[in-house]
Structure 1
Amino acid sequence: MMEELTVSTVLGWDLRYLSQCVTIMIETAKSIETESGAAGSKIEQSESYFSSAAGTASRNRGAVDKTDALTTSDVFEGLAASLKLYVGELESNIKTIREQKAEAEDSVWDLFVTEDGHVKSRTSNWETFIEYNPFGSAAVSTKEFWITRYDNLISAALTWVQRVDQEGAELYIKNMENLADRVKTGVTAMPADPELAKILLDYQTDVSAGTPRLWPVGVVADALKERGIDISPSLLTTEEIAAMEELYRTRGVDAVAEALTLPDIAAGAASEYSPTTIADGQADAYRHMYWNALMSQKFGEDWAETYATAHEKTGGNIPQREAMDLWNNELGRKIGAENPNATPEQLQELVRQEIESGQAVVITAKDHNGNALPANEVQLSWSRSTDQNLTGSPAGVGVPLPGGK
């Protein structure tokens, strides 16, 4: 569930650094394009003095390298264009919030702005009526007009900032998916263990085909509210939404409500199991396995696979994390499918056994001094052979590997 932004939070943002990033990415794109073009031209002109089969192979490889480099340049340009657009949207709406907040607080109606972007008065309408008597009714009407106006402008701008912050981040990082497959594979650290290396390469999924959206909304949200279920919309991939709406059509609103509660149930159990390894460690493996076991039990293994895999289709997903989650999800679904009548406690015990026997995978992201490893040293690891103190989340976003699932 997405965290709600507050007025004080967004007014405290300094967007100058994002604008600097735009400039750096444009300069980087131009540099890559210039250097790859120059190198490519020299290789193409080598036939007169390097006309052997080896020379032809070298020129062919050079042409591929040039294409990959130019594609990388295009990705940087795409990132820069996206970021410039989002910075502009954020600046415009934050300016609206700042200006309207100042106007509201300077008005004669003793107004203030709440953290969620709404405008209220410190004086009641009755107090306003008395103060402006014999024109009390007109004063109250005028005050309500300005409260509504400021409220609409500020809350709408805050909502738009929230949308740009959440949806924009997804669309922005999705540019990374356009890198050439050879580039993606070349910058990813491969485990020395061949089985782990195979898991890292095989347990990747394609990026979502659509644009992420907030869900539940519309008919499903209304149906949930009618049942007294108040669930705030979360940013989901197109495929996640399609799976949930299929569940709604085939199993009804109660099934959707239950499915939406399972991640929190799994997170609570994982935290009890190992509160210090929630971030890409043993507890995170536990959370994914237990979540998928529950979904497999309640809604079937096929639907659970569709939904859990759809959850990983965000852009720029760190490849080690994507492989970890998809692998552990699969282990959990097998537990649920093979034990359809198991109690929650029995499922948790089976999940624990898988983790402690080393069947699950985690991420080694720290050295023995507790320092974060650089991105090219972060490794996928077996859950039993990895010290819990060394697990953790890799910094930033990842260069995604080609999807297979």
Structure 2
Amino acid sequence: MSDEKITISTVLGWKLDSARFAGAQAMNAGITLEAESINADKAIQGSESYFGEAAGAAARTMSTKLKNEAVTSGDVLDAIHRQIDTTATDLQSDIESLQSVVDEIKESEWNLFYDDENGDVQSYDSNWETIKNNWGNPASVAWKTAECLRLSADLKQAFWDVQETDKIGARNLATQLENVSQDVKLVLAGIPDNAALKDILLNYQVDTTKSEIVVWPDSTLLELIRLKYPDIQAVEMTVEEKAAMDELCNPLYGGNPLNYQTFNEIKNEAEAFGKTNKYTAVFDGSKDDGHADAARHAYWNARMTQEFGAEWAEQYASAHEMVGGNGPQREAMDLKNNEVGRQIGLGEYERITGRSAISGHRCGR
């Protein structure tokens, strides 16, 4: 899960004009790309009278293909614009709802304040002060408590709605990039001359999810897990990724919330290993798509395999890549090293325990 904390005051300070401007720029770039590619193809298609042999026919065929790919890429840029605009509009509405609850808290007769990180609402006045300020009526304490609980629930829900919209919007934006043609992706990636590397690039890819992007845990499970792990932050993920996490941690799907601790510890171990190892000692940038990043993926999958089994580890790690937005080379690198890690973890698990780690996870650790 993400370690980055977002606060209510941070959200209320968001300005969305820059996002809308970036979306408009993407739309304009798409319009330009489509217009130039169509004009160029039109000129090439009219060349038959002076370039009519097989080479000319091949050139016109290729021009049509390139035009279609350019038009598709232009459509992707327009979709990016529309996704940014939609998310910004939804966020603006959610932020206004959040601000409305905050205003209600500030204007309350009970002298209230809220926790900027978790949305708990409390009163600056002690119960004794509350009674005194209400002509000695002890029932005023119950009224104040009820108001704190109501506003706390409203604030947490409004805060959750903003985070959910933001996270899902970000993932949906990344997913739009998957709609460019496979040829465009491979051209941008660059096909290696090395046969083994070419094989990895072409074969270690995963389809982008066709389902909606969701946030995990949902608000109910999040509050349950926070009883033991208060710093957990919700994160956006694919439906397939959520299914794996629910299987591991959600009691409604046979999981155990206690598994979250082990899962999160493994993630933190892998991230720490990826930042400090023999590769980063030589070149710190190796942690970003270099040897250190490859080692991190292998370590992460090896440890997940040891704790939860190779089948679950593959299910989760592959689903994790289905969101889209990764370039083909990065995706191939991640999937290949994930597989290597599971092979390592599988061997270690069986060597230490004498049991198969092909499937199953140890819920309730």
Band the TM-score falls in, shorter-chain normalisation: 0.7 to 0.9
Question: What SS does the corresponding residue of 2:169 show, helix, strand or coil?
Answer: helix
Match of 2:270 among 253, 262, 266: 266
SS at match of 2:209: coil
2:247 and 2:253 in contact (8 A); partners too: yes
Query: Residue type of the partner of 1:338?
Result: G
Q: What is the alpha-carbon distance in structure 2 between the residues aligned to residue 189 and residue 11 of structure 1?
A: 43
Change in CA separation of 1:22 and 1:121 when aligned onto 2, cut-off 3 Å? same
Quick one: percent identity of the two aligned structures? 36
Contact 1:18 1:87 in 2 (8 A): yes
Distance 1:312 1:142 in 2: 50
Deviation at 1:280, TM superposition (A): 3.9
**Which amino acid in the other structure matches residue 134 of structure 2?**
Y
Match of 2:204 in 1: 203
| Alignment of structure 1 residues 238-249 onto 2, 5 Å | 238-244=239-245
Distance 1:198 1:267, change over 3 A: same
* Matched residue type, 1:188: A
Whether the 8 Å contact between 1:212 and 1:237 is mirrored in structure 2 is yes
Q: Per-residue CA shift, 1:159-215, capped at 9, x if unaligned?
A: 111111111111111011000112212222556765445434443322123223233
Residues 131 and 340 of structure 1: is their aligned pair in 2 closer, same or farther, counting only changes over 3 Å?
A: closer
In the TM superposition, residue 135 of structure 1 has moved relative to its aligned partner by 5.5
Structure-2 residue corresponding to 1:163: 164
- Is the CA contact (8 Å cut-off) linking 2:37 and 2:67 kept in structure 1? yes
Partner of 1:87: 88
Paired with 2:308 and 2:155, the residues of 1 have a C-alpha distance of 42
Shift of 1:20: 0.8
1:287 aligned onto 2:296: yes
Partner of 1:375: none
Aligned residues of 1:271 and 1:278 also touching (Cα < 8 A) = yes
Alignment correspondent of 2:360: none
- Partners of 2:312 and 2:100 lie apart in 1 by 48
Distance 1:146 1:297, change over 3 A: closer
Residue of 333, 336, 339 corresponding to 2:348? 339
The verdict on how the C-alpha distance between 1:256 and 1:28 changes in structure 2, with shifts beyond 3 A counting, is same
Q: Which moved more, 1:311-320 or 1:66-75?
A: 311-320
* C-alpha contact (below 8 Å) 1:111/1:120 kept by paired residues: yes
Counterpart position of 1:39: 40
* Aligned-partner Cα distance in 1 for 2:193–2:255: 47
Residue 306 (1) aligns with residue 315 (2): yes
Output the CA distance in 2 between the equivalents of 1:141 and 1:252.
38
Partners of 1:26 and 1:80 within 8 A in 2? yes
CA contact (8 A) 1:96 1:153 kept: no
SS at match of 1:313: coil
Amino acid at match of 2:293: D
Higher deviation after alignment, 312-321 or 100-109: 100-109
Q: Which residue of 1 aligns with 2:363?
A: none
Asked if 1 retains the 8 angstrom alpha-carbon contact of 2:247 and 2:255, the reply is no
TM-score (norm 2): 0.78
Q: Tell me whether 1:118 sits opposite 2:120 in the alignment.
A: yes
SS of 1:112 mapped into structure 2 = strand
Aligned counterparts of 1:123 and 1:57: Cα–Cα separation in 2:
82
1:34, distance to aligned residue in structure 2 (A): 2.1
- The answer as to whether partners of 1:247 and 1:255 remain within 8 angstroms in 2 is no
Query: 1:81, CA displacement in angstroms?
Result: 0.9
- Look up the equivalent residue of 2:21 and give its one-letter code: Q
C-alpha change, 1:93 and 1:301, in structure 2 (3 Å) is closer
1:314 counterpart SS class = coil
CA shift for structure 1 position 278: 4.5
Mean Cα deviation higher: 180-189 or 67-76? 180-189
- The structural deviation recorded for 1:140 is 4.6
- CA distance change for structure 1 residues 33 and 268 in 2, over 3 Å: closer, same or farther? closer
Cα deviation, 1:271-318, whole Å, max 9, x if unaligned, reads 564675644444433332222223334444344333322222222014
**Bigger CA drift: 51-60 or 291-300?**
291-300
Q: Check whether the contact 2:301–2:341 (CA below 8 A) recurs between aligned residues.
A: yes
What TM-score results when the alignment is normalised by the length of structure 1? 0.71
- Residue 73 of structure 2 corresponds to 72
The AA in structure 2 aligned to 1:333 is R
- DSSP-derived class of the 2:189 partner: coil
**Secondary structure of the residue that 1:109 maps to in structure 2?**
coil
Let me know the Cα RMSD of the aligned residues.
3.5
